[in-house]
Structure 1
Amino acid sequence: MSTVLALAVAAGGLGLSAATAQAAPASTLQDGPPFSYASCLKATADKGESPAQGKWHCDQLVRKGWVKPPVG
């Protein structure tokens, strides 16, 4: 019985490592963060946010590291 349990744990560990290995290349996308501030403002406008609300939203994303700070 303990052999069956050990095999199940080992198989689960191998499946987890294979899933992690498959997910790794997706994190190397060039479109990933940090995004530009201008593209953030455009995205918020496309979603229907007001300019003031979009600026606030993008400023929050700058603090989190998802958007590059505005230049100038």
Structure 2
Amino acid sequence: MLRMSVVLATAIVTTGLASPMASAVAISKPVPPYAYQDCLKATKQKGESPSHSKWHCDQLVKKGWVKPPTR
């Protein structure tokens, strides 16, 4: 019984220490914004129509995944 509680306590402490470290690593890696033209090329390769590609890339601009187009 004592051995089981020691194992359980060790698991809880290990999990508690690992969680903040994992979240800190995930936060420190920013996702780069992609170019609008690259988005249009990618959606074209996936077979989307031109109007749907523009809509799709505009939605990604709103979310911050794609840089706004330079015109």
Asked if TM exceeds 0.5, the reply is yes
Aligned residues: 65
Letter in 1 for 2:11: A
Q: Name the CA distance, whole Å, in 1 between partners of 2:17 and 2:35.
A: 39
Does 2:71 align with 1:68?
no
Q: Spell out structure 1 runs of 4+ moving beyond 6 A.
A: none
Over alpha carbons, which structure has the higher Rg?
2
Letter in 1 for 2:12: V
| 2:35 corresponding residue in structure 1 | 36
Q: Kindly provide the CA deviation profile for residues 21-58 of structure 1, in whole angstroms up to 9, marking residues without a partner as x.
A: 8x55xx36xxx431000000000000000111000000
| 2:57 corresponding residue in structure 1 | 58
Q: Which runs of 5+ in 2 are unaligned?
A: none
Q: TM-score, length-normalised on structure 2?
A: 0.71
Q: Name the CA distance, whole Å, in 2 between partners of 1:69 and 1:54.
A: 14
The 3-state SS of whatever aligns with 2:42 is helix
Query: By how many angstroms is 1:13 displaced?
Result: 2.6
| 2:10 corresponding residue in structure 1 | 7
The 3-state SS of whatever aligns with 2:65 is coil
State, as a whole percentage, how many aligned pairs show the same letter. Answer: 55
